[in-house]
Amino acid sequence: MRSPKDFFAPLAVGAPTPIREVPARPSRVIHFFDPSNEKMAAKVPDMVGTVDVLLGNLEDAVKADRKVAAREGLVAIAKATDFGEHTQLWTRVNALDSPWVLDDLVTLVTEIGDKLDVIMVPKVQGPEDIHYVDRLLAQLEAKAGLTRPILVHAILETARGVANVEAIAGASPRMQGMSLGPADLAADRRMKTTRVGGGHPGYLVRQDPPAGVEDAVHADRATYQQDLWHYTISRMVDACAMHGILPYYGPFGDIKDVVACEDQFRNAFLLGCVGTWSLHPVQVAIAKRVFSPSAEDVAHARRVVEAMGDGTGAVMLDGKMEDDASLKQCLVIVELAERLAATDPELAELYAV
């Protein structure tokens, strides 16, 4: 067992000091691109400033014979691009049991470590996976002479990972956050959905038959589709909140169904997630809209903060009781709005900051 006193000591001589708090930078939209795809890569420079995070993906969705091209493409893009103040550069490396991951980590940290903010690690099974990456990154940071630690983001996409979610979230001060990986998770759990995220028409509850109706089978009864991901997202949100790191939804594969995509993103936002992935340019605006609180919610939250004065006791506002707890809920909205407005002039105007 590691002593808590050692937790914030570098894991290699010459590596940067670990951080104590996850930097509060907007990450509503983590935009995925394949650095080996010339058309996509060409769009990256123009996306700087329009998304919070640009993520060069090296893992799933990159063909085996393009893995090296994707890695080299990311190095070239990172060296050639100024990501400015408000767009971070992340990568998703290959899985820890793959033949590519060691070269991914060695090449990326030593070549572009000064530009990389976060490394997303797929298929994390338990804290031991984070410990491995943690030590290796410290050694590579020392070798590369980096002065700022690269953070780690885990994808929750195995049954064992979900069972170990709290231990993963607290495995290292490098942990920045966690995303739901609904496709790999569904496969690992042997769920029977073939979709990438989103609901399923078969996962539903049915209204009771009307009172007095004996033939329940033929009665007209409404059905309501349920959220397949509610349990996992909620567990992930709790684990992240407990360890001071950030939870995210992940991919929504039905690119054309922008309505269901927005619904899935909003469910995650309401449950506590701070952002999501975009797989296609059409999902960028949806993610930004959903993960920025509405002007109405911000205005209401401010009214509650004002009405609550010193923050104790209870008041009535529009016929509803507000107290210390609802004040704290409103402060979550107000603080998020202020943080986003600080980097987004459109939101600053919308929220009248």
Q: How far is the CB of 125 from Mg ion (least distance, A)?
A: 14
- Give 116 or 120: the residue with its C-beta nearer to ligand 1VU: 120
Q: How far is the CB of 22 from ligand 1VU (least distance, A)?
A: 23
* Element (DSSP H or E) covering residue 267: helix 258-271
Instruction: Choose the contact partner of 251 out of Mg ion, ligand 1VU, none; CB within 5 to 8 A by kind.
Output: ligand 1VU
Q: How far is the CB of 122 from Mg ion (least distance, A)?
A: 6
Show Cβ contacts of residue 102 under 8 Å, excluding neighbours closer than 6 positions.
none
- Give 233 or 333: the residue with its C-beta nearer to Mg ion: 233
Instruction: Choose the contact partner of 18 out of ligand 1VU, Mg ion, none; CB within 5 to 8 A by kind.
Output: none
Q: How far is the CB of 39 from Mg ion (least distance, A)?
A: 22
Q: How far is the CB of 321 from Mg ion (least distance, A)?
A: 45
Q: How far is the CB of 241 from ligand 1VU (least distance, A)?
A: 25
Nearest-CB residue to Mg ion? Answer: 60
Q: Interhelix angle for 101-112 vs 67-80, to 10°?
A: 10
Going along 61-156, which residue ranges are E strands? 88-92, 118-121, 151-156
- Contact residues toward Mg ion (CB under 5 A) are 60, 184
Task: Check: CB of residue 69 under 8 Å from CB of residue 97.
Answer: no
> DSSP labels for 3-61?
-GGGTTS-SSTTPPPPPSS------SEEEEE-TT-HHHHHHHHHHBTTBSEEEEE-STT
Instruction: Choose the contact partner of 32 out of Mg ion, ligand 1VU, none; CB within 5 to 8 A by kind.
Output: ligand 1VU
- Give 152 or 330: the residue with its C-beta nearer to ligand 1VU: 152
Instruction: Choose the contact partner of 305 out of ligand 1VU, Mg ion, none; CB within 5 to 8 A by kind.
Output: none
- Contact residues toward ligand 1VU (CB under 6 A) are 32-34, 39-40, 43, 57, 60-61, 183, 196, 251, 253, 255, 279-281
Instruction: Choose the contact partner of 57 out of Mg ion, ligand 1VU, none; CB within 5 to 8 A by kind.
Output: ligand 1VU
Going along 93-237, which residue ranges are E strands? 118-121, 151-156, 175-180, 204-206, 223-225
Strand partners, 119: 91, 152
- Give 162 or 340: the residue with its C-beta nearer to Mg ion: 162
- Give 184 or 344: the residue with its C-beta nearer to Mg ion: 184
- Give 61 or 102: the residue with its C-beta nearer to ligand 1VU: 61
Distances, alpha carbon 300 to alpha carbons 77, 231, 296, 307, in Å: 43, 29, 6, 11
Q: How far is the CB of 168 from ligand 1VU (least distance, A)?
A: 18
Residue 334's CB is within 10 A of a number of other CB atoms, namely 18
3-class secondary-structure state, position 297: helix
3-class secondary-structure state, position 246: strand
Q: How far is the CB of 234 from Mg ion (least distance, A)?
A: 21
- Give 12 or 47: the residue with its C-beta nearer to ligand 1VU: 47
Q: 24-63: buried (b, 16+ CB within 10 Å) or exposed (e) per residue?
A: ebbbbbbbbbbbbbeebbeebeebeeebbbbbbbbbbebe
Instruction: Choose the contact partner of 129 out of Mg ion, ligand 1VU, none; CB within 5 to 8 A by kind.
Output: none
**Amino acid code (one letter) for 166:** E
- Give 277 or 351: the residue with its C-beta nearer to ligand 1VU: 277
